[in-house]
Amino acid sequence: MIDPAYAQTMARYNRWQNDQLTPVLQALSPEELTKDRGAFFGSLLATANHLLWGDTIWMSRFDASVAPPAVPAKEHATLHPTIASWAADRFRMDGRISQWADRLRALDLREDLIWSSATLGREMRTPMTAAVVHFFNHQTHHRGQIHAMLTAMGQKAPVTDLAFMPEDA
């Protein structure tokens, strides 16, 4: 299904996307960031927080050295109260994702991922390949929501096409 090169490419894509998105979000006022825009999680900041929370929980499952999120699932959208604290944590998480992808081996992808789901209250098991694809797809999905909110506000949203990712990203 996938190989380590896929994860490495998608980790680069994730970082490139967040590197473009962060200054756009930082340029907005707190009111603009927290205004309910009718999206699934409401605001830009809540959606960005959900995405970062999701990345953190998945990375804690993929890499035991990564701590789970500091807030429970029901508080995911309030992970960070400001864009500044979000941006610092986002930067660190993007580095962790890249480090994990660079260490990933084909053998790691043949295993099942087993974790305890606090949301469902039970042990979960899924092929590692499916979990990794979901992880990166989840990022793209929610950044797409952020992109749509920015566009609806009249903001210039970043380029998102993987084909246009610079070689040095």
pTM, 2 dp:
0.95
Answer positive or negative: Cα dihedral of 3, 162, 96, 54: negative
Q: What is the largest CA-CA distance in the chain?
A: 47
Give residue-wise pLDDT tens across range 126-148: 999 999 999 999 999 999 999 99
In whole angstroms, what is the distance from residue 106 CA to residue 35 CA? 43
CB contact burial 64-88 (16+ within 10 A = b; e otherwise)? eebeebeeeeeebbebbeebeebbe
Give residue-wise pLDDT tens across range 24-40: 999 999 999 999 999 99
Phi/psi of residue 125, nearest 5 degrees: -145, 130
Using a pLDDT cut of 90, give the percent of the chain over it: 88
| Cβ atoms of 79 and 69 closer than 8 Å | yes
pLDDT computed for residue 131 by the predictor: 97
Task: Please work out, in degrees rounded to the nearest 5, the angle formed at the alpha carbon of residue 90 by the alpha carbons of 100 and 47.
Answer: 115
Examine the pLDDT at 118 and tell me if it is beyond 90: no
| Cβ atoms of 161 and 147 closer than 8 Å | no
pLDDT computed for residue 85 by the predictor: 97
Examine the pLDDT at 169 and tell me if it is beyond 90: no
